[in-house]
Structure 1
């Protein structure tokens, strides 16, 4: 019989798994399917989990490998395109500026190369250590550090380019209390 604590631990990671799946697929429905398939595999492979290992990175590893397997299968089927955009629900109303900024950041993040996006998501959003994220992705720690660094640099460059396009106005004369 399945250990209830293990199953509870598995489902406690549902939110982070969904976020990571969405960052990989860029499609809410496909992300849900990916998480489902990964959880089925995790339950089937529960006996392979080594005590003392980080369950979270183990689950992210299964999710990532499931995603890679799906991409390979999709590439075999010529002409099949995967959806590349989906809407995001916002929990609280935000100002127009904040909403536009969030859309810009999201668009920039999703435009990152897949390997950089996956690395940055696990480290910056999910809070995995570099070691755990590298394990989840099946890459050396140095490679992960490099990918995260390149992703952050690319996002900073995009942000700098956008701020260069901002037109700033400076009022001359008058008082700050004067009505316009």
Structure 2
């Protein structure tokens, strides 16, 4: 990756209305956002909406985004999660139901820290290979095939490990003991 291709440079280009930068961001982050959105939404249409809304927010806010670590993906995942919460609220309001606990915003900072502790503990408890796969696929945005090649595993093995890790992390976040 050249310095012009790093995330901060990409955001700066978007802030200058460079549509090519948005296309680059889409190519780079849409697969990861789509996988993440599937964990938050129940239909293909809802997933597509979350990804589009997240990238639209990126385009609209590019001039104000601060990336302390230089990585754009964490910012995008938070935005996607916020859009998922809003989407779930709309759906639940129309259905007259309560928001699912895993999408409900923490009521205070202590609750938010507690939820984050559970996630950090769950990630730390993963076997080293699973932890590395989560970093590569879920955080760094690599495809399963790329992660498999980097780690000398089959794509099927990576897929299984990601699925297993997601289930563990979901249990940690929702405090589900089953």
TM range (shorter): 0.3 to 0.5
Normalised to the residue count of structure 2, the TM-score between the two structures is 0.46
Between Structure 1 and Structure 2, the one with more helix by share is 2
